[in-house]
Structure 1
Amino acid sequence: MSDKENELEALNMLSMQMILHAGDARNDIMEALKFCEEENYEKAEELLEKADKDIVAAHKLQTQTVQKEARGEDVTFSLLFAHAQDTLMTVKSEWEIAKRMMRIFKRIDEKIDGKKVIK
């Protein structure tokens, strides 16, 4: 195998790890939203924290590759890596929206119930 082929294989493996972390985060985000619907904010928050850890792990993998290019190293283009970045960005946005929605749900519940919901 040539050096270029080895680089592409390594980048593809890294990309798959990013996608797996992002996918796990997405699953946890969707599950957290289900718990929000049930007003189980504690469990929802746990899942969003877990999702955040996967997002951070995926972001660290992305950063390794981006920093190589920033240092002037030749980085092989990979459509799979571009897809992994897109997936990560989308899941991060979903996480941000879920966090905001949970705050909104809590406030609505506080107003309806006339009591403070544990944050």
Structure 2
Amino acid sequence: MELENIIMELIIHAGESRSCSMEALRAARQSDWALAEQHLTAAKVAVREAHLIQTQLIGADEGMGKIPVSLILVHAQDHLMNAMLCRELAEELIYCHREISSLKNR
């Protein structure tokens, strides 16, 4: 597969993960915990796919500069890091939503 297509796959999976994380937060705001968990699971799957692509690119590069660093590659890395951070923060915020919700319902 052509390098640009591989990089686009990374961007697609990272974007999907971020979108799912945000959907999980929206579900948590509505106290729909099952849906929030569903979206978090989908976010984890998508970010795992993106991370596998990143790992393959790093392996192909072998630390020797074999993979040219282009703006689209930097953009893809940015997407992946944002997706990973967004998922982690979504998990923490959903936990907080649940705690607050349980306190309100006492």
TM-score of the alignment, normalized to the shorter chain, above 0.5: yes
Alignment equivalent of 2:102, drawn from 101, 106, 110:
110
| Larger RCO (CA under 8 A, 6+ residues apart) | 2
Are 1:63 and 2:55 matched, yes or no? yes
Are 1:15 and 2:7 matched, yes or no? yes
CA-to-aligned-CA distance 1:61-101 (integer Å, 9 cap, x gap): 01101122236472222221111011110111011000000
1:56 maps to amino acid: R
In structure 2, C-alpha distance between the alignment counterparts of 1:78 and 1:111, rounded to whole Å = 50
Gaps of 5+ in 2: none
Q: Quick check: 1:19–1:84 contact (8 Å CA) kept in 2?
A: yes
The two structures have a TM-score, normalised by structure 2, of 0.91
Mean alpha-carbon deviation: is it higher for 49-58 or for 20-29?
20-29
In structure 1, C-alpha distance between the alignment counterparts of 2:34 and 2:74, rounded to whole Å = 35
Q: Quick check: 1:11–1:78 contact (8 Å CA) kept in 2?
A: no
Residue equivalent to 1:25: 17
Gaps of 5+ in 1: 1-8, 115-119
1:24 maps to amino acid: E
In structure 2, C-alpha distance between the alignment counterparts of 1:53 and 1:83, rounded to whole Å = 21
The two structures have a TM-score, normalised by structure 1, of 0.82
Residue equivalent to 1:82: 74
2:42 maps to amino acid: K
In structure 2, C-alpha distance between the alignment counterparts of 1:34 and 1:70, rounded to whole Å = 41
Residue equivalent to 2:86: 94
Residue equivalent to 2:27: 35
**Secondary structure of the corresponding residue to residue 25 of structure 1:** helix
